[in-house]
Structure 1
């Protein structure tokens, strides 16, 4: 128990090298109460504190502080902000669930010059408020600049000094002030032509200026309208209707260990030429001893067999066969939750309505990979209307299945030797000890519940805290995924 707690705490908060362990911010512990870590005398006292914190977390989950039944196991109650920050410290993503990349670029030489060299892409990528502000400023400044030029032309010709002289032939009729010059500039640039103000043959410079402003107005309007249209027609928002399952599953399929995940499209308009690929981001140590912290391992989703090309009329389950070339080949259930990796999945295709290419991304951390689960079926046939119905409310749901507790490599070796591997519903329970665990389950739950602030029924406690149970698991979110490591600790006690 102590070793497992130490490993989890070191993974979350850093190594414990001194007499006191490295702790997170005080406001993230003990439900927001400030904790003075300087009073801890040794690692043993810290481990006792960590154990109390884990058990208190489980007690809070039974009282609704951590939601176990909602989608994603959301945090509830007055401490949801502190618990959410606590979860963020535990899990750092490169790619968020919505596809946004968690990367900040710094110290780029000549960055502004490079962005200005590709001005169109820069204007399309900026936020809407800056885009609309630029749109308004471009027209307003052009009106004012040309109005000033028109006013100078009239002033140099003497038109402003002979406003009431009927025999005077001005360069532009009815320009009496800067305001009238501004109105004439707007009419000229947008070819409004109300008829009161117009140029005459008196000033050649006025004729040239009118031609130049007319051409400039067409170019400016085309550029600004094109930028706004390009921003509106981008297929980026099309990815909002492409869905990825919240969890991935590892189970046995067709005699092989496979990694499963589900993708779907909620629109009726299809994604043409849809194809999917995945990479595993993980630390790698080369033969020379160099450490590559963000090395990309290719995850084969059936490229050679054509299974990576999808027909997304209904949700499709993507299958990765765990073989010798797979980065999950030597990964056992116990190693799964100790590893630090991120599986990034990329779905690309052509939007049927616009013909533009779109891309949707998502990622999975080790705590979001469920060992011994498969996805629940969604498609049913309706005899009443003769149509197939897709129930998206079960899109993220999984069900437990018999799965070996060993890695795919060990399974292949045992199969070659004619041995039968152990079968279990989930990785954290040994089938040999399942009967003993069921006998001691009520006693353990009662012991844990007595340490909470209020008493609770042992059956309700079991339903809240157990995420690897044959009868209760129909969804990967029985408890919040950010607390799974804590609940897993109790199983080693």
Structure 2
């Protein structure tokens, strides 16, 4: 059961954040077997090269790098062995010269001048070589001018000793100052977490620098190692996919002064687009994190690595804050560097969330289509403006003023509303209403006038008695004889 620490004064209170009721811990899944990792948590790659055949000679061509890459015990063994063999060989050369000249038998003869004074056995020859090589110079053993071969051997000894010292001491210095040791003070969180951040499902992990010296130009990258099969049937056991941790926005360039939370937004371009809390139990993948930068003190490039398997990715968790403001500085609490707590997180993948959102969203409202139609009408009127500008001057005068398209635009806004009513009018009225500049009042007055003209003409043609009957305010048909009714109805029709 995860717990959240709430700060109260100078103390913390543990608050349960478990989703299960009754304070019971959530059920745990069955433990899996030991996962074979491609990269260990300390950054070491579990890869061994075998069946090289004749390619092993390439290691000797780059002997210096081979010695640097060896383990410390083998470096120390080669260091001691090389110096011991070189010293014994050179001491033997001095002893051979003394033996061939007969200096060993006449060492105590004061009247004889040997090649090397006071060298009468192998230990004395070895001591002379050590004094010469280490430039100690006790003054008891020295080369005389009666031994040209000794002078040549002395020059050879000086050159060979400088080469051996430069090679072995340089190898040991490079191995001791390797940036791998600097990577030991770069920390990664033990687990990665998946939760919502800024409204998006995000994969997060934390990095930190334990030293006060900075990492210059620090950059972080992530690789997803997962086996897959291509459509052609080829099986890729360790296919590497790139996880975007801010390459497009520059967020992968780190100012690593305090611990930072690295985020990978899970979207349609992410390899985790279809990953959900349920499917993660059956997935097998490994996230390799690579942090690179230049060591500020030495200027050497340092690389730190770690990895997270599917068992080390916590769904619905978030990291504890570790930075607090003190008196005049910011304090980092590394005791909470690896700690996480549970937060409400949907157990669905991003793909499932988008599908549910599309299913729950309503259809496109009519206002959208109306706006499209208005845009189309405006585009048509813009086209009319262009056509009008291309007409001759006489035709432009006939078409009217410059604001003619604008009037059409205002009239077109009410065209859809009048379409149904205009369809019921006679053709003559429709033609009259289509003339620009006729308002609704004019149209209504003309309509009533035209409807009343046939009635007035028909009444005027009646006899005087019938005209008196029609002017009485009532309906004429009710007082006419049947024959006149029929004649009147034939005239109206």
Q: Where on the TM-score scale, by shorter chain, does this alignment land: which range? A: 0.5 to 0.7
Q: Distance in 2 between matches of 1:386 and 1:399?
A: 29
1:352 positional shift: 1.0
Could you tell me the TM-score, scaled by structure 1's length? Answer: 0.65
Q: Find the counterpart in structure 1 of residue 301 from structure 2.
A: 357
Report the alpha carbon displacement of residue 97 of structure 1 after superposing the two structures with TM: 0.8
Deviation at 1:419, TM superposition (A): 5.7
Residue aligning to 1:30? none
Q: Which of 136-145 and 314-323 deviates more?
A: 136-145
Deviation at 1:94, TM superposition (A): 0.9
Which residue in 2 is equivalent to 1:232?
176
Number of aligned pairs? 334
Q: Work out which of the residue numbers 343, 359, 365 in structure 2 matches 1:401.
A: 343
Q: Give 1:263's match in structure 2, choosing from 186, 202, 207.
A: 207
- The whole-number CA distance in structure 1 between the counterparts of 2:165 and 2:134 is 9
CA-CA distance at 1:291 after TM superposition: 0.8
Contact 1:332 1:405 in 2 (8 A): yes
Q: Which residue of 2 aligns with 1:109?
A: 53
Query: In 2, distance between residues paired with 1:140 and 1:105?
Result: 33
For residues 40-55 of structure 1, the aligned pairs below 5 Å read: none
Which residue is 1:161 aligned to? 105
Structure 1: state its 5+ residue gaps.
Answer: 1-85, 421-493
Which of 207, 218, 227 pairs up with 1:274? Answer: 218
Matches within 5 A, 1:47-446: 89-382=33-326, 385-418=327-360
CA distance in 2, matches of 1:319, 1:284: 25
TM-score under structure 2 length normalisation? 0.65
**Residue 243 of structure 1 aligns to a residue in which SS?**
strand
Cα RMSD (Å) of the superposition? 1.9
Larger radius of gyration: 2
1:296 is paired with a residue whose SS is strand
The runs of 5 or more residues in structure 2 that have no matched partner are: 1-29, 363-493
Deviations 1:376-409 (A, max 9, x none): 1111112xx2221111111111122221121011
Deviates more, 1:181-190 or 1:307-316: 181-190
- In the other structure, the counterpart of 1:435 is none
Q: 1:269 & 1:418 partners in 2: Cα distance?
A: 53
Q: SS where residue 92 of structure 1 aligns?
A: coil
Output the CA distance in 2 between the equivalents of 1:88 and 1:244.
23
Bigger RCO (CA 8 Å, 6+ sep):
1
List per-residue Cα deviations over 1:27-56 (Å, max 9, x = no partner).
Answer: xxxxxxxxxxxxxxxxxxxxxxxxxxxxxx
Structure 1 residue 202 displacement after superposition: 1.1
Query: Is the CA contact 1:190–1:214 (under 8 Å) kept in the aligned structure 2?
Result: no
Offset, 1:216: 1.3
